[in-house]
Structure 1
Amino acid sequence: MQMVHHGFTQETFDDLGTALSDVTFVVVDLETTGGSPSGSQITEVGAVKVRGGEVLAEFQTLVRPSSPIPAFITVLTGITNAMVVEAPRIATVLPQFLEFARGSVLVAHNAGFDVSFLKAAAQETGHPWPGFAVLDTVRLARQLVHKDEAPNHKLASLARLFGATTTPDHRALHDARATVDVLHGLVERVGNLGVHTLEELQSYSSRVSPAQRRKRFLAEAMPSAPGVYVFRDATGAPLYVGTATDLRRRTLTYFTASESRRRMAEMVGLAESLTPIVCATALEASVRELRLIAEHQPRYNRRSRHPEKAVWVRLTDEAFPRLSVVRSVKERDSAQYAGPFGSRRSAEAAITALHEVVPLRQCTRRLSARTPAGDSCVLLEIGRCGGPCVGAQTQEDYAEVTRRAGQALTGATSDTVGTLRRRLEELAAQERFEEARTLRDRMMALVRATARSQRLRPLTAAPQLIAARRGEGGGWELVCVRHGRLAGACVSPRGADPMPYVAALRETAEVVEHPGGGTAPGQLAALPEETELVLRWLESPGVRLVDLEGEWTCPVRGAGASRAELEPQATSWTDQGESRPPLTSGRLLDRPVGALPA
């Protein structure tokens, strides 16, 4: 696949967050009349503004509460009723503090306590809460300070550990100054562990090993662009493949506490390199991811590790055809196929559903058109087979059975589904619910597979399709699809005429030959999952068809309509839904082919 990347500009800023040296912290401490904002009030506010290790300003004031200070609080803090009698009310103090702290990150020791009182005061005085980012030094200390260093994580203990120049004594400004020294000590520790941004500091967890953090440099070299990333081990073998709208932002998360999956931590421990593959569009990234997973089968990719292992249901090409499950479609095969199915189990369920309605033979021996093969089986005795094996059914009579099966496999499922639904209702009326559920599951397996096949077939048959969708930042996302395979993608810049980019895409896209010459739906130039990815993108809102060679249609009363009707009621027995016709190419043509505004 050759991709044309027009109009892409790589960002140069650090998308992960703000360097700690550039963050303004306001370390705040409150003294109050009690332990909860419900029934208690603030009596003192102390705060210190710091950035890059330097003190920028301080804020301190007593606050006059509306009720007397309890005696035990006076003993603890030293703040008496006489001291606050001339102090301003919280309605005056709070807006002053909010202005002092504007644009900063709030820091407090046991921040939940202080922030809860500030929020309650804001609500009481009618001031909107600014939504500060908050950092709790207690939480950080629990991650970084061990029991052999300090007896506990109280402010006094940590102040002694980090050599604070101010001794905390339950006065707001003193405690805030001590907390500043504790903050600087904690930041120095996490800096040695590879934490350098505010976002990393906020999400820091000791669960992330130092060895894992040291590998952060792998992600720091990634571009800030959409695409695919590949983690590789020491031998260069892929460990994990993923996609991202911003490669640098996404891969940096693997080296912080925001990545909580144990298997991913194990994967990062084995990773020695990280490869970026910049893509023009999200669709291109998804397709490249799928292809890489199919090619390398990385052990840490759980979803779609084997997208290439689809199976098909084949109606054999012989005198008395039968159904079988196969792993590939033969070139120029005149047999009929349905699928692809995601598993052999679902394919066998679809076959069983079809056998419920169409009396195809189920024996595996090859029958001659001239001579019977041998003894009959129980299916003949119960009327589920015409008995071609014993000469009870001519080739001409059996041809009508084959025709009905072929119609069902190619998407004309209305008769088959109607018969199955009547049988479902009979079983439900007889309260044979287990049998009804089994039949329902088999019917849905058949309908889903034939609908999938019917949707994919027109796209795989089309030699070329070029479509466009408005990009988030303006311009157009352009894709070229050939025989169901993504052959190229590019982006036209905002304000530019997109048609020259369409022409360039047409000339530079991958050459895709039609695989084989038959009409079997399994003859795909791409993995079925890739063609489905492309199809979902083409069906998404806002997509416009620019160029089409061949036809792209889907019958309104095909298997897609049956699926749309049955899927919402898959857990019930009665018909309650309304049919929704599947998408056709005409629905994409909301303006003339080839006409795209700049």
Structure 2
Amino acid sequence: MHARPSQLSFDELGTPLREVTFVVLDLETTGGSAGKDAITEIGAVKVRGGEQVGELATLVDPGTGLPPQIVALTGITSAMTAGAPRLAQVLPSVLEFLRGTVLVAHNAPFDSGFLRAACERHGQAWPRPPVLCTARLARAVLSRDEAPSVRLGALAELFGTDTRPTHRALADARATVEVLHHLLERVGNLGVQSLEELLALARESAPHRPTQRQRQKRVLAQGVPSAPGVYLFRGPREEVLYVGTSGDLQKRVRSYFTAGERRRRVRDMVALAERVDTVVCAHALEASVRELRLIAAHQPRYNRRSRRPNHTWWVAPTAEAFPRLSVVNSPRDGALGPFPSRRAAAAAVDTVLDVVPLRPCTQRIPATGASATPCALHELGRCAAPCAGLQTPEEYAPAVGALDDLVGGRDDAALRAAADEIDALAARERFEAAARRRDQLAALVVGLGRAQRLAALAALPEVVGARPDGRRGWEVAVVRYGRLAAAGVARRGVAPMPVIDALRLGAQTVLPGSGPLRGAPVEEVRLLHRWLTTGGTRLVVSEPSWTEPARGAGAWGAWAERARPVEVD
């Protein structure tokens, strides 16, 4: 059984207050500035679990005379400090006394600031202990009616402490210990039982402090495992209010009941919550995928992306004799996408029409043609006027094929033609027009590249990836048709291939659907693609081989980056 490390930190969650060692410190100085004035007396009391375990007290020779007002306030005279040790002699003992504890002081920034400045002057390393200010803690715990003032003397009188502050270091430290213990009794009623919660309570300003209702709900975190996974807050009717993911479920769920959680919307959610369910996952990727699926299934109202998280837009040809481009919200075979908004999809339509000779009009034209009068687009050479019977479906078919080849990455002739046109515009010194066309083409290249990368992954019956877990083990994922089918971990010292074989045997069966992504959710395919292609992930299995089109937009990525800096995922 391993002993708990003695050094505590701000990041350690869930340390019971009874296990915390506090050093309550008070300093007397020659004035109020850590950079200019000197320490004249140090008093410190070490307590743990409500019991005193040590004291340290000493006068310090400041090397200078004491101002009259300081003598009058503290009763410490130059004669008293003349034979005392200098700070350089005392400081190592003080720092050793502080080691592995939480530093407590009334108006703590003053005392910790003096000690930190002393360490800098005398070449000592400041141990950076957690710091608790009893003045700020009192203001967080006590109402202004009960405690109009949070001066040490006023609090000592309020609580009826045995030791009263006298502006001498040890007496004031002892009084602060009693005040601290009374305040700790109060914070228990607020549901504060850990060091992290106590520090957060004292640190936060009034508008950000957790409500009493929020703290009372901390019992919902009991029994939550310390493991990666997904958590679900449920309301009084068993409805899912919020879904989240974390590498440590226990720490994350506990944080909702502390001052660290400032979001008003989430605080309202916590007030409604009646239960927290968890799903333990093998690693972060599985947790992220499960989070996406649960949000899509439950649409929890407190998740920002809860409303149709997989809602995206696509550009697809219509099913008619003379197909035209339309913006749709469901993927079809041959569609280009996904796009994050309808506006982005509409912009892609305009650019595609510049590089592929599809008709830009929106009317439905029968296969036998029509007798309409050709519009101005025909006069401009942008349409062969099938609406007027001047083009047959067979004559129109090459334009449809060009679109299909462009989206599928089988032919980049349309991109090359557009790039040549941009060069021609620049050669004629039509720089604004060239820049506009360049930006449009770069955006199309980025959209095509994203679509082709995701479609290539979604087309594969099975891909297995293994990523180093940072502890000399492996995180493993089995992906089928763009969906996570199984996840596991081969710990350090465990042969990974038997683990991978077992995961493949027990993986979920996935049947491909229709559309460019074979029915897989966009966000899930994107997440899996990023995991498989970054972070040192190794491809263990790919059936068939994972390839992307040779004449696809990927070959134009460098051109797009030079033409227009665009974020590519």
**What TM-score comes out, normalization by structure 1 length?**
0.87
Correspondence for 1:256: 258
Q: Which moved more, 1:417-426 or 1:228-237?
A: 417-426
How far has the Cα of 1:131 moved from its partner? 1.2
Query: 1:323-381: CA deviations, max 9, x gaps?
Result: 11223345xx6xx2211222222111100111223331123333344433522222112
Letter in 1 for 2:285: L
Hey, what's the Cα distance between the residues in 2 that align with 1:185 and 1:417?
75
2:57 to 57, 60, 63: 60
Correspondence for 1:586: none
Hey, what's the Cα distance between the residues in 1 that align with 2:407 and 2:509?
31
2:75 to 75, 78, 81: 78
2:316 to 314, 326, 339: 314
Determine whether 1:405 maps to 2:399: no
Indicate the SS of the match to 1:64. coil
Q: Which moved more, 1:398-407 or 1:95-104?
A: 398-407
Hey, what's the Cα distance between the residues in 1 that align with 2:562 and 2:177?
59
Hey, what's the Cα distance between the residues in 2 that align with 1:160 and 1:368?
94
Correspondence for 1:544: 538
Hey, what's the Cα distance between the residues in 1 that align with 2:29 and 2:56?
17
Letter in 1 for 2:21: T
How far has the Cα of 1:150 moved from its partner? 2.6
> CA distance change for structure 1 residues 169 and 422 in 2, over 3 Å: closer, same or farther?
farther
Query: What does 1:330-369 correspond to in 2, within 5 Å?
Result: 336-369=334-367
Correspondence for 2:444: 446
2:225 to 223, 226, 229: 223
Correspondence for 1:200: 197
Query: 1:537-575: CA deviations, max 9, x gaps?
Result: 110132122222223101355213434542465369xxx
How many residues align structurally? 554
Correspondence for 1:303: 305
Indicate the SS of the match to 2:335. strand
Indicate the SS of the match to 1:130. coil
Hey, what's the Cα distance between the residues in 1 that align with 2:415 and 2:493?
51
Hey, what's the Cα distance between the residues in 2 that align with 1:151 and 1:467?
63
Q: Judge conservation of contact 2:410–2:549 (CA < 8 Å) in 1.
A: no
How far has the Cα of 1:156 moved from its partner? 0.4
Indicate the SS of the match to 1:128. coil
Hey, what's the Cα distance between the residues in 2 that align with 1:43 and 1:412?
82
Correspondence for 2:390: 392
Q: Judge conservation of contact 2:369–2:386 (CA < 8 Å) in 1.
A: no
Hey, what's the Cα distance between the residues in 2 that align with 1:117 and 1:413?
72
RMSD of aligned Cα (Å):
2.7
Query: 1:198-231: CA deviations, max 9, x gaps?
Result: 1110001552111111110111221111000011
Q: Which moved more, 1:307-316 or 1:457-466?
A: 307-316
Q: Which moved more, 1:364-373 or 1:115-124?
A: 364-373
Q: Which moved more, 1:103-112 or 1:457-466?
A: 457-466
Q: Judge conservation of contact 2:454–2:526 (CA < 8 Å) in 1.
A: yes
Hey, what's the Cα distance between the residues in 2 that align with 1:252 and 1:441?
48
Hey, what's the Cα distance between the residues in 2 that align with 1:418 and 1:429?
20
How far has the Cα of 1:536 moved from its partner? 0.8
Higher relative CO (CA 8 A, sep ≥ 6), structure 1 or 2?
Answer: 1
> CA distance change for structure 1 residues 363 and 569 in 2, over 3 Å: closer, same or farther?
closer
In structure 2, the gaps of 5 or more residues are: 6-10
In structure 1, the gaps of 5 or more residues are: 1-11, 583-598
Query: What does 1:461-500 correspond to in 2, within 5 Å?
Result: 461-500=459-498
Q: Which moved more, 1:380-389 or 1:247-256?
A: 380-389
Hey, what's the Cα distance between the residues in 2 that align with 1:505 and 1:234?
38
Correspondence for 1:505: 503
> CA distance change for structure 1 residues 429 and 210 in 2, over 3 Å: closer, same or farther?
farther
Query: What does 1:27-38 correspond to in 2, within 5 Å?
Result: 27-38=24-35
Hey, what's the Cα distance between the residues in 2 that align with 1:266 and 1:169?
46
Indicate the SS of the match to 1:195. coil
Letter in 2 for 1:497: A
Determine whether 1:105 maps to 2:107: no
How far has the Cα of 1:39 moved from its partner? 1.8
Determine whether 1:232 maps to 2:240: no
Q: Judge conservation of contact 1:349–1:441 (CA < 8 Å) in 2.
A: no
Q: Judge conservation of contact 1:312–1:340 (CA < 8 Å) in 2.
A: yes
Correspondence for 2:328: 326
Hey, what's the Cα distance between the residues in 1 that align with 2:549 and 2:305?
32
2:292 to 276, 285, 290: 290
Hey, what's the Cα distance between the residues in 1 that align with 2:562 and 2:136?
47
1:553 to 538, 542, 547: 547
Hey, what's the Cα distance between the residues in 2 that align with 1:159 and 1:413?
83
How far has the Cα of 1:42 moved from its partner? 0.5
> CA distance change for structure 1 residues 33 and 290 in 2, over 3 Å: closer, same or farther?
same
Correspondence for 1:530: 524
How far has the Cα of 1:494 moved from its partner? 2.0
1:17 to 14, 19, 22: 14
Q: Judge conservation of contact 1:469–1:542 (CA < 8 Å) in 2.
A: yes
How far has the Cα of 1:126 moved from its partner? 1.3
**What TM-score comes out, normalization by structure 2 length?**
0.91
Q: Judge conservation of contact 2:477–2:484 (CA < 8 Å) in 1.
A: yes
> CA distance change for structure 1 residues 429 and 33 in 2, over 3 Å: closer, same or farther?
farther
Query: 1:66-103: CA deviations, max 9, x gaps?
Result: 21111111111111111111110001111111122221
Indicate the SS of the match to 1:135. strand
1:188 to 185, 201, 205: 185
How far has the Cα of 1:136 moved from its partner? 0.7
Hey, what's the Cα distance between the residues in 2 that align with 1:105 and 1:214?
25
Letter in 1 for 2:525: T
Hey, what's the Cα distance between the residues in 2 that align with 1:472 and 1:414?
41
Q: Judge conservation of contact 1:484–1:534 (CA < 8 Å) in 2.
A: yes
Indicate the SS of the match to 1:408. helix
How far has the Cα of 1:316 moved from its partner? 3.3
Give the % identical residues.
52
Query: What does 1:106-255 correspond to in 2, within 5 Å?
Result: 106-204=103-201, 205=204, 207-255=209-257
Hey, what's the Cα distance between the residues in 1 that align with 2:310 and 2:439?
24
Correspondence for 2:8: none
Letter in 2 for 1:251: V
Correspondence for 2:456: 458
> CA distance change for structure 1 residues 423 and 241 in 2, over 3 Å: closer, same or farther?
farther
> CA distance change for structure 1 residues 77 and 412 in 2, over 3 Å: closer, same or farther?
farther
How far has the Cα of 1:154 moved from its partner? 0.7
Letter in 1 for 2:59: L
Indicate the SS of the match to 1:149. coil
How far has the Cα of 1:522 moved from its partner? 4.2
Indicate the SS of the match to 2:503. helix
Q: Judge conservation of contact 1:225–1:247 (CA < 8 Å) in 2.
A: yes
Indicate the SS of the match to 1:16. coil
Q: Judge conservation of contact 2:410–2:550 (CA < 8 Å) in 1.
A: no
Hey, what's the Cα distance between the residues in 1 that align with 2:371 and 2:213?
70
Letter in 2 for 1:311: W
Hey, what's the Cα distance between the residues in 2 that align with 1:151 and 1:326?
64
Indicate the SS of the match to 2:489. strand
Q: Judge conservation of contact 1:414–1:562 (CA < 8 Å) in 2.
A: no
How far has the Cα of 1:528 moved from its partner? 1.3
Letter in 2 for 1:491: V
Letter in 1 for 2:25: V
Q: Judge conservation of contact 2:30–2:40 (CA < 8 Å) in 1.
A: yes
> CA distance change for structure 1 residues 15 and 238 in 2, over 3 Å: closer, same or farther?
farther
Determine whether 1:521 maps to 2:516: yes
